[in-house]
Structure 1
Amino acid sequence: MSTRFRFTAPPSPRAATGRVAEVYGQLARDFGLRAPDTFVVLSSAPELLTGVWALMRESLIAGPGDRTGKELVALGVSLANRCPFCVDAHTMLLHATGDHALAERLARGERPADERHARVLEWGERSRVPGALDDGPYPFPRAHLPGYLGTALAFHFINRVVSALVGESLLPGGAQRLRPVRSLGGRALARTVRRTAAPGDALALLDRPEPGEAPAWAGGTPVGLAYAALLRAAMAGAGLLDTDDQDLVEEVLHDWDGSHPPLALTGFPDRRERPGARLALLAALAPYRITDEDVAAWRRPGHSDDSPVRLVAFDDSLVRLVAFGAFLAVDRLESTLGRAPGRSPARTPPGT
């Protein structure tokens, strides 16, 4: 699943060592791809890479619930967030589960024929709106909430990172839009996707949070510790903004109703005056709207030197700023989806 990157040049997976190499090893074993761009783009920040892999693995792959249902959640979230890369990826992964007819109905833009599948897909699509899922029952057993909700939150983060920093096309020339390519791609991943994965394996890659940091909705499963680890890693990016910019970004997220911003980006900070706040808010609300001009405006104040060392530092900082903005949106959703009383977007990672 090779595609181009936007704004950064991540380290080559062939050069990976330490925890990054271990993530790639688990990806190959449990996801069927050693180094998909979805994760390579985060590899300059190993704590972000391990956190998001752990959350995705422990929910989508090893968490409670049916894999087809969780793929439908990931697809619904990706549709709501307008992430064509992830929509195409999860259509292909539905082929890998063996649900070929379902995958093709969705590829044609049709509603699932099975009402249970339709409700799960709609649940994923509605999850972009804070509080929208608090009305009515879940479309899956309550015991499966950690798997389904963890998957939804993982992809609210992944969609935003991918839309900001990875190109739109899953395969060169948009080949994934061809039915034979979708089917063959899914079949190539089928053995891995249909294999049972042991919960908890990704936790060994993390700087483990305290059990009390895990959200209550995770029910003591590994999903909760993975979520807490990603929260810590992503919220550390707040330090890239000054206090005024942090306040502005968090105030906007606090009032966000889940809508996509208007074409004119009314109310967004001017890129010349507050480029960091603008980038963080775009990452949260409309990462597909980040432009070369937005990135260049943020780079100029502190990264005017074009030496290789400066460029590497800039890549790392941009990844961390995008992750911070993306996770503020996730945290806003989690505070309502998880029915966690009193939660609001945090300024700094817990325990620091």
Structure 2
Amino acid sequence: MSGLYARVARRPSRGHVRRVTPVPIERADGLVAEVYQQVERDFGMLAPPVSLHSPAPQVLAACWIVLRETLVAAGRVDRATREAVAAAVSTANSCPYCVEVHSATMAGLLRSTTDPAADARRVQVAQWARAGTDRAQARDAVPPVAAAEAVELLGVALVFHYLNRMVNVFLDPSPLPASLPSPMRGGVRRIFGALMARGARGDRPAGTAQQLLPAAPVAPDLAWSTGRPVLADALARGGAAIDTAGRRSVPAAVRELVTARLDDWDGRPPGISRAWVGEALRDLPAADHPAARLALLTAFASYQVDDQVVAGVRATGADDRALVELTAWASMAAARRVAAWVPLDPTSPATS
């Protein structure tokens, strides 16, 4: 994608973000400026799912590192198949923004190709990714690809379990203007997909974003990634930065509550009622209720976060950075838990 398109895309992309104010690219400095430069260079545009993190620079860097090394950087799996996983996970998480972006990108990448075998495998991969969102089904889900490829695809799934939650909280439901008439949406979506596909083509070398954050050990729940060392390193660095942000902006009692609920979670959405949230808050100090409400909804039903929930946290004195850090911690805690359900051994022989 051309530098001209990246520059033109900057302004409208800002309008997609709600509830926090991203750092404008012309005012970015330090770590934020460095991340923005890399995103435009390697992703083709300053994508709102990344820029929404900019009030918290370390979390911004974490988001970009893990997104780049799973979806963008060259690997064993083609980009269209990775986009299929992103779209499948986004569908499971009721994230219409990400479904639209990654379905359109995949369609743009595949528009000039006809390979029935590859198409069939892509469908199988998407089904495997969807199965991995249910704790019971994940145990029996066999990757339809070689083990090293499955590690890459599980990395994509983890990152989109994280991003879907952040996008549901902070972005509009669609990357296309809400005012766009329905008869025009199909054509605009095809043009959008073609532009996104242009940015998705070509190999980006792995590991070039790692220096944005300090090295960190691979946590036990991320051990499945060690068969792909650069990917494992990215997840370790990004995960450590978000853990640190959580300790800063999420009360300890709230972190303990969310972790305990994740221990018992089966992956299924809690339903349309939010009564379960009130029950979960019963034993917490009242002062922690606003943060706990936002963290619980972000982790388990991010599509139910509304302005009132965010306003409750704002009323406790939380600024944009605290909001991003709180939701990032809850999103990553849920994402890592779901990924850990998949019985993946990166050292095993090929499964296909």
TM-score tier (shorter): 0.7 to 0.9
In structure 2, the partner of 1:235 is: 243
1:91 to 99, 103, 107: 103
Tell me if the contact between 1:64 and 1:146 (Cα under 8 Å) persists in the aligned partners.
Answer: no
Q: Offset at 1:97?
A: 1.5
Counterpart CA distance in 2 for 1:241 and 1:248 is 11
Taking the TM superposition and a 5 Å limit, the aligned residue runs for 1:271-286 are: 273=286, 274-286=289-301
In structure 1, the partner of 2:206 is: 199
Tell me if the contact between 1:130 and 1:332 (Cα under 8 Å) persists in the aligned partners.
Answer: no
Tell me if the contact between 2:213 and 2:238 (Cα under 8 Å) persists in the aligned partners.
Answer: no
Change (3 A) 1:131 1:29: farther
Change (3 A) 1:334 1:174: farther
1:158 aligns with 2:163: yes
Counterpart CA distance in 2 for 1:258 and 1:279 is 18
1:288 to 290, 303, 309: 303
SS in 2 for 1:268: helix
1:49 aligns with 2:60: yes
1:249 aligns with 2:263: no
User: How many residue pairs end up in the alignment?
Assistant: 320
Q: Offset at 1:283?
A: 0.7
Mean CA deviation greater in 8-17 or 180-189 = 180-189
Tell me if the contact between 1:70 and 1:151 (Cα under 8 Å) persists in the aligned partners.
Answer: yes
Give percent identity, aligned residues only: 32
Tell me if the contact between 1:56 and 1:154 (Cα under 8 Å) persists in the aligned partners.
Answer: yes
Output the amino acid matched with 1:299.
R
Counterpart CA distance in 2 for 1:212 and 1:265 is 32
TM-score, normalising length: structure 1: 0.83
In structure 1, the partner of 2:334 is: 329
Counterpart CA distance in 1 for 2:197 and 2:305 is 35
Q: Offset at 1:76?
A: 0.2
Q: Offset at 1:197?
A: 1.2
Mean CA deviation greater in 197-206 or 114-123 = 114-123
Change (3 A) 1:188 1:298: closer
Counterpart CA distance in 2 for 1:263 and 1:212 is 34
In structure 1, the partner of 2:24 is: 12
In structure 2, the partner of 1:71 is: 83
Tell me the alpha carbon deviations over residues 226-256 of structure 1, each in whole angstroms, 9 at most, x when there is no partner: 1112211222214433333222211111111
Q: Offset at 1:92?
A: 1.7
Counterpart CA distance in 2 for 1:191 and 1:241 is 39
In structure 1, the partner of 2:269 is: 260
Output the amino acid matched with 1:70.
R
Gaps of 5+ in 1: 103-111, 304-312, 341-352
Change (3 A) 1:131 1:234: farther
